[in-house]
A and B are shown apart, each in its own frame.
Chain A
Amino acid sequence: MTNRADTRPMVYILVWLVLLALLVVTVGSAYLSLGWANTPLNLAISVTQAALVMLFSMHLRSAHPLMKIIAVIGFFGIALLITLSLFDVLTR
């Protein structure tokens, strides 16, 4: 189950450049008046950035499926907590 695949340094550098570009996009988009869409857009960019870091820098792309499950299960747990709690708050 160890990660035998190796990633070339150029891939890390490319990912880094994409991450920086996404940073510029997310900051820039905050200055655009998109109403309710600002926050989902920022979060979508965050998710994309996180996915890039996890898939490449954290070697998830070539990891055993068990690692992939463990990597996302924390996010699902928090999503569950926020969703049901918000459901309560918004329907009181």
Chain B
Amino acid sequence: MNSAAIASHENYASHENYLSSGWNWRSWLTTLDHKRIAILYVVTITLLFGIGGAAAAMIRLDLLTPHSQLVSIETYNKLFTMHGVIMVWFFLIPSIPATLGNFLVPMMIGARDLAFPRLNLASWYLFVGGALFTIYALLAGGVDTGWTFYAPYSTTFSSSHVFAAATGVFIAGFSSILTGLNFVVTIHEMRAPGMTWFRLPLFIWSMYATSLILVLATPVLAMTLMLMAIERTFGIGVFDPALGGDPLLFQHLFWFYSHPAVYIMVVPAMGVASEIVCCFSRNPVFGYRFMAYAILAIAAFGFLVWGHHMFVSGQSAYAGTVFSLLTFLVSVPSAIKVFNWTATLYKGQITFQAPMLYALGFVGLFTIGGLTGLFLASLGLDVQLHDTYFVVAHFHYVMVGGAVMGFFGGIHFWWPKITGRMYPEGWARFTAILTFIGFNLTFFPQFILGYLGMPRRYPEYPPEFQVWNVLSSAGASLLAFGYVLPLIYLLWSLRYGARAPANPWNAKGLEWETPSPPPTENFHTTPVVTEEAYAYSRAQAPHG
């Protein structure tokens, strides 16, 4: 497991911790320690992010010119499909829950581990298994259906490796379910004495709500993919219009999962944002209970709106109206959260360390993404905007500007706790700002392109769209730097970073009351909680 960039275990902190206790293949691949499993996930999703990112790079390079000069049209279809499949299921969905969630959920509630450590390890193996099937599909020639696998193209007409990719996602789905199950049971049953529900950090609330969605929505995806794959294999099924089947049935079933799935991706980032914003403004969160209830409301309402992906698909106008109304409703709890993060900053003692830059970026970009979602929720506007780059820009603002920024913010915030090392603050701030600029340069032009009518999933476009495409691709190159730089300086910090104290940010939360890196059992004695969450006072500033 040693690579040149990772310090050998002898160099770790002088106290015994979860990283120093055993360092060979077996101790990592058969570990039951939630913290090590979190790191297994970090490594895995980083690799997969690289693959998905490479697909994106190819797409943006190909779109520099109005004609698809870099890749064939068939290859282009496969690129955006694999980009979507990998980024959605093999990066975004596991990102915060399986890495930061796995590491922090037991620590934040004062437990020694999750409720079911063996299920946790099984979850990682299932994830890797699913990824292998999907990578096989990629290497065998790719999939060209789009990440949404719509019937009847996926079931009848596509000659690409749909079955393998669907199998990969199916298996990864069980990884999700087990993680969610583990978190729900752990949060219900294993909180330390004094850790009542309304003293929990909002990150835990966000993990809880995310886990509810993971557990309730993912089984629907699993069966839907199975129906699609079996129909493809046997040449008969309920989605086949030639037999009287209904392709829209596939869409209803698919989006019943996939809309809540987007909340799996963004709600954890909301939890991270709350932790960071409070710490770096030295304020308790504004409206704690509203924040907690809003998280639950987002998870619940998220199940009611799936038809907004189908406004122009042939769904009835009456159903469209109902879904449009419900979609407007789901924006309310998200808006409450944005107001409350803002209010938390008010009269705070704000400092701008890298985690805070990412968190503030999250709040702003998520707001833009969310507001543009309302454009798309309006039936009339969606007729114009559906399947254009406006949609692509919308979901990248919430997924990348939102969820990925939140992920990076969390990685930086908890890096000292996880690794026992401080990352280089200067480089991290520079990268956060570079990422913010690169992101906006990549995706804001896409709102304009969508408004002007450029369809998504097209490798060719009219010449008058080229300037916006070139701006977008230029932004993508900056964004690429923004993602590669942390890989370099974070790995660098593992060997050369300053050793981190237990609480470098002077943050509130049980995870900060244990050494960095933590001992294997997290706490030498079970903590007893006596104060409310975010009991910050302006007297103590964060260090760092």
Binding site for B on A (CB under 8 A): 1, 66, 73-74, 77, 80-81, 84-85, 87-89, 91-92
Contacts and interface: CB of A to CB of B under 8 A. Distances in A.
Interface string B305-333: 01100000011111100110000000000
Given A81-B253, A85-B252, A91 B319 contact: yes
B303 A87 contact: no
Contacts of B220: 77, 81
Contact of B303 (A74, A77, A89): A77
Contacts of A88: 248, 252, 307, 315-316, 318-319
Nearest to B305: A84
B216 A73 contact: yes
B304 A89 contact: no
Contacts of B256: 81
A87 B307 CA distance: 11
Contacts of B314: 92
Nearest to A90: B316
Contacts of B307: 84, 88
Nearest to B317: A91
Given A81-B256, A87-B318, 7 more contacts: A73-B216, A74-B216, A77-B216, A84-B252, A91-B316, A91-B319, A92-B316
Contacts of B317: 91
Interface of B: 188-189, 216, 220, 246, 248-249, 252-253, 256, 303-304, 306-307, 314-319, 322-323
Contacts of B249: 85
A66 B185 CA distance: 11
Looking at chain A's contact residues, is the secondary structure mostly helix, strand, loop, or mixed? Answer: helix
A77 B253 CA distance: 12
Contacts of A80: 303-304
Q: Which of A81, A84, A87: most chain B CB closer than 10 A?
A: A84
A66 B322 contact: no
Q: Which of A77, A85, A87, A89: most chain B CB closer than 10 A?
A: A85
Contacts of A66: 188
Nearest to B248: A88
Q: Which of B189, B314, B318: most chain A CB closer than 10 A?
A: B318
A84 B325 CA distance: 13
19 contacts: A1-B189, A73-B216, A77-B216, A80-B304, A81-B220, A81-B253, A81-B256, A84-B252, A84-B304, A84-B319, A84-B323, A88-B252, A88-B315, A89-B248, A91-B317, A91-B318, A91-B319, A92-B314, A92-B316
Q: Which 10 residue pairs spanning A and B have beta carbons closest together? A: A88-B319, A91-B316, A91-B318, A85-B252, A92-B316, A88-B315, A88-B316, A81-B256, A87-B319, A77-B216
B23 to A, nearest CB: 39
Contacts of A74: 216
Contacts of A1: 189
A80 B323 CA distance: 13
Nearest to B326: A84
Contacts of B253: 81
A77 to B, nearest CB: 6
A21 B315 CA distance: 43
A66 to B, nearest CB: 7
Contacts of A73: 216
Contacts of B319: 84, 87-88, 91
Nearest to B219: A74
Contacts of B188: 66
B323 to A, nearest CB: 8
B283 to A, nearest CB: 33
A3 to B, nearest CB: 15
Contacts of A85: 249, 252
Nearest to A66: B188
Contacts of A77: 216, 220, 303
A29 B429 CA distance: 72
A88 B311 CA distance: 11
Contacts of B216: 73-74, 77
Nearest to A77: B216
A77 B316 CA distance: 22
B322 A87 contact: yes
A91 B248 CA distance: 14
Nearest to A88: B319
A91 B321 CA distance: 12
A1 B253 CA distance: 35
A78 B358 CA distance: 38
A61 B306 CA distance: 34
A85 B252 CA distance: 7
B57 to A, nearest CB: 38
Contacts of B322: 84, 87
